[in-house]
Amino acid sequence: MDNINWSELAFGYVKTDYNVRCYYRNGKWGKVEISSSEYVPIHIAATAIHYGQESFEGMKAFKGKDGRVRLFRWEDNAKRMQDSAEGIMMAEPPVELFKEMINKVIKMNMRFVPPYGTGASLYIRPLLIGTGPQVGVRPADEYLLMIFVTPVGPYFKEGFSPVSMLITREFDRAAPLGTGKYKVGGNYAASLTSIKKAHDGGYANVLYLDAKEKKYIDECGPANFFGIKNNTYITPKSDSILPSITNKSLITLAEDMGLKTERRPVVLEELETFDEVGACGTAAVISPINRIKDDESGKVYTYGKDPGEISTKLFNKLIAIQNGDEEDKFGWVDFVE
């Protein structure tokens, strides 16, 4: 801890002092417990480890110039975790419990909140798992909500520099009527083979097509996709992608800057027409994309080697609000104190 080089931090796990935990038993949530252990004792037949009853969230806290710690849109993450819980039949954590737990875990790990100006932030990872035993395939009757934090740098090592993406039809991450719209572990397990294929080919990640027709753009590894042309911010509408809170925020910022915005199906061929494209998410923030290769047709789509003008403006605006450098006129920021 004493020698964290904040500006060189990667997106990874750093041990902190405490995490928080709360059990759902006998139909109700219990008391919030504070733990300094990195381990979780779990029943050998818990549904999380057999049948994937697991959902997680990701959000960030930022230290401002004024030293205050800002939390970005936590309530949206709380609601999305409730949706994920409902989607795979887990107990839904109340928003108030979620809030109490995030505030507690941040306060107990204040020394790990990266200083202002380092580009790093405190990543907050809530995790909901089925802990009750089942051998037949059915939901658990006991759940555990845990939250740990870890200081992080950029998800893609390039930071705010363009990355390349691979389109492959060899693997899907989510089925058309499956769980792609929930933040559940199974989707990420299903993405590992395609991500390895992308990494082996020198690409930062995978640009997924819709699983049914392979005709439309879905999303970009652990981030949503957007394209910009004709002063318009365009992002895919699909039932099998995660409703990204960053993307939703960028739509608001784009409109505020006078851009038009469209959320609609985006056909693969439209890639040729964009001036700028990028991936967006909590971890990725905005990662501009400079090259997309379709491994079946061999077609390569290229964009500017530097981040585009509109992507840069959106990026700067978003991080200025998150860091408290600009007025929070949309009410996205809460203070931890």
Question: Catalytic residue numbers?
Answer: 183
Q: How far is the CB of 330 from ligand PLP (least distance, A)?
A: 15
- Please give the size of the binding site for ligand COI, defined by CB under 6 A: 5
Choose the stretch contacting ligand COI; rule: CB under 6 A; options: 1-9, 95-103, 260-268, 279-287: 279-287
Q: Closest distance between ligand PLP and the C-beta of residue 55, in Å?
A: 11
The stretch near ligand COI (CB under 6 A) out of 114-122, 132-140, 195-203, 280-288 is 280-288
Residue of this chain nearest to ligand COI (CB atom):
58
Residue 206 dihedral angles phi and psi, to the nearest 5°: -110, 135
Q: Binders of ligand COI among 74-103, rule CB under 6 A? A: none
**Quick one: 282 or 311, whose CB is closer to ligand COI?**
282
Shortest distance, CB of residue 183 to ligand COI, whole angstroms? 7
Residue ranges that bind ligand PLP, judged by CB under 6 A = 58, 219, 222-224, 242, 244-247, 281-282
CB 176 → ligand COI: shortest distance, Å?
21
Residue 15: phi, psi to the nearest 5?
-65, 135
Nearest approach, Cβ of 281 to ligand COI (angstroms)? 4
User: Where does this chain touch ligand COI (CB under 6 A) — which range of 30-38, 92-100, 194-202, 278-286?
Assistant: 278-286
Q: x/- contact string, 172-211, with ligand COI (CB under 6 A)? A: ----------------------------------------
Site string for ligand COI, 221-260 (x = CB under 6 A): -x--------------------------------------
Q: Pattern 281-300, binding to ligand COI, x per CB under 6 A?
A: xxx-----------------
Which of 27-35, 136-144, 277-285, 317-325 is the region at the interface with ligand COI (rule: CB under 6 A)? 277-285
Q: How far is the CB of 63 from ligand COI (least distance, A)?
A: 19
3 state SS for the chain: CCCCCHHHCCCCCCCCCCEEEEEEECCEECCCEEECCCCCCCCCCEHHHHHCCEEECCEEEEECCCCCEEEECHHHHHHHHHHHHHHCCCCCCCHHHHHHHHHHHHHHCHHHCCCCCCCCEEEEEEEEEECCECCCCCCCCCEEEEEEEEEECCCCCCCCCCEEEEECCCCCCCCCCCCCCCCEHHHHHHHHHHHHHHHHCCCCEEEEECCCCCCEEEEECCEEEEEEECCEEEEECCCCCCCCHHHHHHHHHHHHCCCEEEEECCEHHHHHHCCEEEEEECCCEEEEEEEEEECCCCCEEECCCCCCHHHHHHHHHHHHHHHCCCCCCCCCEEEEC
Nearer to ligand PLP among residue 164 and residue 244 (C-beta): 244
Count of CB atoms within 10 A of residue 331's CB? 7
Q: Residue 154 corresponds to which tokens in the numbers above?
A: 């950029």
State the residues that interact with ligand COI by CB under 6 A: 58, 222, 281-283
